[in-house]
Structure 1
């Protein structure tokens, strides 16, 4: 059963209102036991997952049944913040305007609260993204070092990803992985996520001993988790 990767369909959230366009991403999963819906803030769409041998019409039926919920959640998404001249991008939780200066050198760099991007306009978005990933790696590495020294551990490596549901992870081989989008959050939020994953190098679990290590390193844990709960989805809309 062939499915389109994505499409826009018309959904009616209320019988008395006209239909509205709804972006849909289709997924098929051999592990799925039923049709499911979720909102993907990065795509700005509803993701419909179908088990094998279940047709698109079943997904459309579920969408229609839950049209009110779907359209409400999509409408509540933070606005997209593209990487383009004149737009702003948060770095360390502080908005920086993207300023395109094609004649200058240096790809992309910070200058007095502005993110300067050089070269051809066609490369602005890519250069902003490259800068943010490099800055994320620098800040995460700087945050990890004192936590690792205090806990007497050494990460095997630090990697960056663009995950949608996890801000960080610790693999059995002691590799730490983080979402590059942490660079968009306030530094103290990034610091908590880094300390959390570094603590897993001592305790690969969420035991009382693990949380004691985390609390000792980041007394701002509760504030950081609350900030991510409130604002984390908006970071997925940046870029």
Structure 2
């Protein structure tokens, strides 16, 4: 059932094989000795031992084809995560500016921002829109790590702190979190907001390394670096729920 074609992705995107009507995203890890399949948001994913041969992965997927199709069908009847159609010409914000999506049908390739368009190259498959969303999210996550890391490095000396590890995650109801050890996690969705809002979120988390609460001293520290932080805070309150892919 699986078309024997492995697509090596660039920019840390996952390995992908093409099945009959769907793609399969491969995650290799040394933390497992067995393969496991799941369908999440309409996207088929398989987690396998790090050095498992690709032909064995293809057989695992082929043997579970009926199960995979049933899960995809079940997802198609669920309520969509957003009202996006994932078609060429649709707008997606990045750092406060809207960029048009350009979908190219053909060999799978890395998602890129080219000439003012977010370009996704994908085979002509049945469940195409699920994968376009998946590749867009991966693109946002990569760029969020790069952009937020730059901003953290810029604001560290202004706040007077040093960070340890910067991670990009997906939170349901917050924009970031930190630990007393200097580890900071940011919600990748924030890079859809204007630059100044991203600055505020970065400074907010950096200030938590000085004050682990929302005391007057904490907000005074935020205001010292971001004088208009109240406007940024209000912007997120009003517009944050609309930052969706």
TM-score normalised by L of structure 1: 0.61
Rounded to whole Å, the distance in 2 between the matches of 1:135 and 1:202 is 27
Name the residue aligned to 1:47: none
Query: Cα distance 1:89–1:205, how it changes in 2: closer, same or farther (>3 A)?
Result: same
Q: CA deviation at 1:137?
A: 1.1
Question: Does the 8 Å contact 2:159/2:225 carry over to 1?
Answer: no
Q: CA deviation at 1:106?
A: 5.0
Task: Specify every segment of 5 or more residues in structure 1 that has no aligned partner in the other structure, as ranges.
Answer: 1-42, 44-77
Name the residue aligned to 1:109: 112
Alignment of 1:28-177 (within 5 A): 80-103=83-106, 107-121=110-124, 122=128, 123-177=131-185
Q: CA deviation at 1:176?
A: 0.9
Rounded to whole Å, the distance in 2 between the matches of 1:228 and 1:234 is 9
Is 2:234 the partner of 1:231? Answer: no
Name the residue aligned to 2:221: 213
Task: Specify every segment of 5 or more residues in structure 2 that has no aligned partner in the other structure, as ranges.
Answer: 1-40, 42-80
Name the residue aligned to 1:184: 192
Q: Deviations over 1:153-175 (max 9, x none)?
A: 11121112221211111123321
Rounded to whole Å, the distance in 1 between the matches of 2:136 and 2:82 is 19
Rounded to whole Å, the distance in 2 between the matches of 1:175 and 1:192 is 18
Rounded to whole Å, the distance in 2 between the matches of 1:200 and 1:214 is 9
Q: CA deviation at 1:184?
A: 0.6
Q: RMSD of the TM alignment (CA)?
A: 2.3
Rounded to whole Å, the distance in 2 between the matches of 1:126 and 1:137 is 17
Question: Does the 8 Å contact 2:92/2:100 carry over to 1?
Answer: yes
Query: Cα distance 1:165–1:105, how it changes in 2: closer, same or farther (>3 A)?
Result: closer
Does 126-135 or 143-152 show the bigger shift? 143-152
TM-score normalised by L of structure 2: 0.60
